[in-house]
Structure 1
Amino acid sequence: MGTAVIDRYVTDLGARLQGSKKQVRDLLTETRDSLADATEAHVGRGLSEQEAQERAVEEFGPVREIANEYQAELAVAYGTRTLVWLAIVLPLMHMAWEYGRMLLIGPWQDFAAMPPAWYLFIAKANDLTSGIASGVALVTLVLGRVLARKYDSRRLAKIGAGVALTAVGAVFLGNVSIILATAHLDVARLAQSLPMTVASAITWIVIVRLGLLARRCLSCATIVA
C-alpha cells in the first residue's frame, strides 16, 4: 500500500519539531503507525487507498496543531532532562573542585597572606551559587511533577527552560567573578598546577555544555505557541 499522503504529513510534522532526536523519532513513528492503521481501517470500509490516507490524516488533525501538542511534550521532556543534569552535575562538579583545591592548593590560611574580606565574599558567593542553582533545579523538577496535571504543559516547559537558563547563567557569572577577582588580587594565583588546570578546563566544559542544554531547552519551549 502506498503512503504518499502519510509520508508528506509525517515529514511536514517532523520539520516543525525540536527536541531529543530519539523522542522526535519515536513520536513520528507512533504517528506513522497510527495513520497506517487508520488508513487500513478506511480501506476495509470501501475507500480507495488515496481517499483512506486523506481521511486518516484529516482525522488525525492539522499538522500545525499536532506539532504544537508534540512540541509541548518534547519541551517538557527536554526541560526535565536539563534540570536533572543541573541538579546532579553542579554539586558534584563543585565538590570535585573543592576537594582538588584543598588537596593541591590548601585552605585559605595556607597562603602567605589571608585574602581580603571582599575576595572571600566573592569566593563564598561563588561556592553557594552552584548549590543554590542545583537546589532550585531540583525544586522546579518536583513542583513540575506536582503541577503537571493542573497547569498547561506549554507554560511548565517555558518555566523549566527559564529556570535552567538562569541557573546556568548564575553559575557562569559566579565562576567569571572569582576569576576576575583573583586576577585583580594576584594574577599569579591564576597559574595553577597541571591537575588544577585540567580540573578548571573540565569545569568550564561542563558549564558550557549545561549552557547549551539550557539554551536548547529554551529554544524547544519558546517555539510552542
Structure 2
Amino acid sequence: MSAVGQDADPIEDYVTALEAALHGPSRDKARLVEEIRGGLCDTVAAHTGDGTPYRHAARRAVREFGTADELVPGCQRELTIAQARHTARTAALTVPFLIACWFLVRTAGPDPYWPLRLLAVHLAGVAAAAGLLAAATLAATGSPGRRLPTPRRLPLAVAWAGTTASLAMAVASVALVTASALAGDWTPMVLAGALTAASHGMVAASARACRRCARLPSATP
C-alpha cells in the first residue's frame, strides 16, 4: 500500500508520531505499534473497498482511531507495566544467582579480611530484598494479577528497587574484590567482579528505563 504522489502517508505519519511519544521495552513497543498500524491498515482497506481513494481513506481511518496524543496515555500505561515487569524479571533472575556466588566466595578458605566480606554479605541482603520485591511484582502483574488494578506507584517502586539492587551489587563487588586481592585469592575476585559488573549493568539500565517510564505524565491513571 503506497501513497499517491510525493505527499506523506497519513498512516506512516501517525505511526511515526506514536513511536516517538511512547517509551518502554523495544519488543513490547514494536508489537503495540504494529498492532495499531495493522488496525489502521484494515480500516483503510475497508474504506478503499467502498471506492474511497487511499489518501481520503487513510485520513478517515486516523480520525476514527483518534489522534496519536489521544492514544498515547493508554499505550504508555501498558508499556510502563511491561517495563516494570522487565526490570523486575532482570532483578529476580540476577540477584539470587549473585548472592549464591558471593556466599561461595565469602565461605571459601581462611579470611583475615572478614569486615569487607561481611559488608558484602549485608549488601547482598539488601539486593535480596529488592529481588523479593521484583518477584512479587512479577506475580502481581502476571496473568492471575491482571484481573486486579495495578498499584499506581508500583512501576516507580520497582524502578527504585532495581536501582538499589544494582548499587548494592556494585558496592558488594568492590568489597569482595578488595578482600580477595588483599588475601591474594584472585580466582574468586575475577569471578565475583565479572559476574557482578555484568549483572549491575543489566539491572541498572533496566531500572533507569523504568524510572523514565514511571515518571511520564501518561504512565499512571
TM-score, normalised relative to structure 2: 0.79
The corresponding residue for 1:59 is: 64
**Is 2:101 the partner of 1:96?**
yes
Q: Size of the alignment, in residue pairs?
A: 212
SS in 2 for 1:140: helix
Higher helix share: 1
Aligned residue identity for 1:151: P
Q: 1:122 aligns with which of 91, 112, 119?
A: 119
**Is 2:23 the partner of 1:26?**
no
The corresponding residue for 1:2 is: 2
TM-score, normalised relative to structure 1: 0.77
TM-aligned CA deviation for residue 24 of structure 1 = 2.1
1:141-167 CA-partner distances (Å, limit 9, x unpaired): 223346544435865433433433344
For the residues of structure 2 that align with 1:190 and 1:77, how far apart are their CA atoms? 44
| Alpha carbons of structure 1 residues 5 and 115: separation in structure 2 relative to 1, 3 Å | closer
Correspondence list, 1:134-145, <5 A: 134-145=131-142
TM-aligned CA deviation for residue 124 of structure 1 = 4.0
- Calculate the aligned-residue CA RMSD, in Å: 3.0
**Is 2:16 the partner of 1:16?**
no
| Alpha carbons of structure 1 residues 135 and 157: separation in structure 2 relative to 1, 3 Å | closer
The corresponding residue for 2:186 is: 193
- The structure 1 segments of at least 4 consecutive aligned residues displaced by more than 6 Å after TM superposition are none
Contact 1:72 1:154 in 2 (8 A): no
The corresponding residue for 2:196 is: 203
Contact 1:19 1:75 in 2 (8 A): yes
- Name the stretch that deviates more: 145-154 or 16-25: 145-154
Unaligned ranges ≥5, structure 2 = 4-8
1:20-61 CA-partner distances (Å, limit 9, x unpaired): 222222222222211111012122334332221111011112
Contact 2:103 2:121 in 1 (8 A): no
SS in 1 for 2:161: helix
For the residues of structure 1 that align with 2:113 and 2:165, how far apart are their CA atoms? 31
